[in-house]
Amino acid sequence: MTFWQGRRVFVTGATGLVGSWLVRELLDAGATVACLVRDWDPQSELVRAGTIHRTSVVSGALEDLATLERSVAEHEPDTVIHLGAQTIVGTAVRSPLATFESNVRGTWNLLEACRRHPDLVKRVVVASSDKAYGESDVLPYTEAMPAQGRHPYDVSKSCADLIAQAYHRTYGTPVVIARCGNIYGGGDLNFSRIVPGTIRSFLAGERPVIRSNGLFTRDYVYVRDAAGAYLRMAEEAHRPDVAGEAFNFGPAQPMTVLDIVDRIAGLMGRRDLPPVILDAARAEIPDQYLDATKAARVLGWQPRCGLDQGLVETIAWYRDFLRVA
């Protein structure tokens, strides 16, 4: 982590799930961090833990190019980590235009700001997603497969992914792209997601709700492993076999929604509360999981936290957050 000592880093999406943990790791490693913050959320882990007071805060939105260019010009980052996005599939279905504005326009705005200041920015990590691949009959996804989302959220991530590749190949912008599976961990305040929603239900003595039929298959990546993946990509972005590349990050242990709910139930002693299955999910891909061989081979990345350990730490975070003994 001595790589980060004295480095200047600009992070979008810093108050989100991954951003909250990643910013803490950067600061602890000696980096100087500026964060783009659209909405002040006192429940965000970045705010709640006091980490935000160790950063410079830029108030603004990804949709505003002038704000992003000013951020780069004034805070002089050599590293930009782009996590900011509208991340909820259901929200994208209800409000596709706002999702496209944030995820697509926001990405090209950020990359354009970086392109205009090549003397400053030496590495850019862009958070894409397994959703960028869209639906496929062939699994697991490999990085050689095309980005071909079909529904609003998936399309927004496909577009952002392709735009990042275009900026590297056309302008030489030093971009590296991360495609993670479903990230979980303490600090996720989107309780429509299965892990935090299930934990909150069990803590309240209620049956958890599954929006799908429970058979959808996903990778589950612990948030601190995801943060480590982004940092590792940035550290290696100078290499010719890394710059401009996309990398998958997943545990190679795909699970159904019912499996993950049962795992949480076992850890919390709540198998007496079977899930309510709505079978009402819209615009969701049934099966998604990733081949992370390339990340292991090129970056030396492996998940450090097993599923049970990650869930135990996550449950403890929500138990404290929701003040349940």
pLDDT at 215: 97
> Averaged over 25-30, what is the pLDDT?
98
Catalytic residues: 153
pLDDT at residue 325 greater than cutoff 90: no
- Cα distance between residue 285 and residue 266, in whole Å: 27
| Cβ count within 10 A of residue 9 | 27
Say if CB 289 and CB 139 are below 8 A apart: yes
Give the chain's length: 325
Per the prediction, the chain carries an average pLDDT of: 96
| Percent over 70 (pLDDT), the chain | 99
Run of H or E residues at 155: helix 152-171
pLDDT at residue 284 greater than cutoff 80: yes
Q: Domains for the chain: give ranges and CATH numbers.
A: 2-185+219-252+290-304 (3.40.50.720)
- Cα distance between residue 254 and residue 287, in whole Å: 9
> Averaged over 9-25, what is the pLDDT?
97
pLDDT at 1: 61
Say if CB 110 and CB 163 are below 8 A apart: no
> Averaged over 32-43, what is the pLDDT?
95
pLDDT at 125: 98
Sign of the torsion angle spanned by Cα atoms 178, 67, 168, 119: negative
What are 121-135's pLDDT values in tens digits?
999 999 999 999 999
Which pLDDT band, with edges at 50, 70 and 90, does 282 fall under?
confident
- Cα distance between residue 161 and residue 176, in whole Å: 10
pLDDT at 70: 98
DSSP string, 18-83: HHHHHHHHHHHTT-EEEEEESS--TTSHHHHTTGGGGSEEEE--TT-HHHHHHHHHHH--SEEEE-
pLDDT at residue 324 greater than cutoff 90: no
> Averaged over 246-258, what is the pLDDT?
97
Task: Write down the pTM of the prediction.
Answer: 0.96
Instruction: Give the phi and the psi of residue 170 in degrees, each rounded to 5.
Output: -90, -40
* CA 291 to each of CA 143, 288, 296, 306: distance values in angstroms, whole numbers, following the listed order: 8, 10, 10, 17
pLDDT at 283: 87
What are 1-14's pLDDT values in tens digits?
699 999 999 999 99
Say if CB 283 and CB 215 are below 8 A apart: no
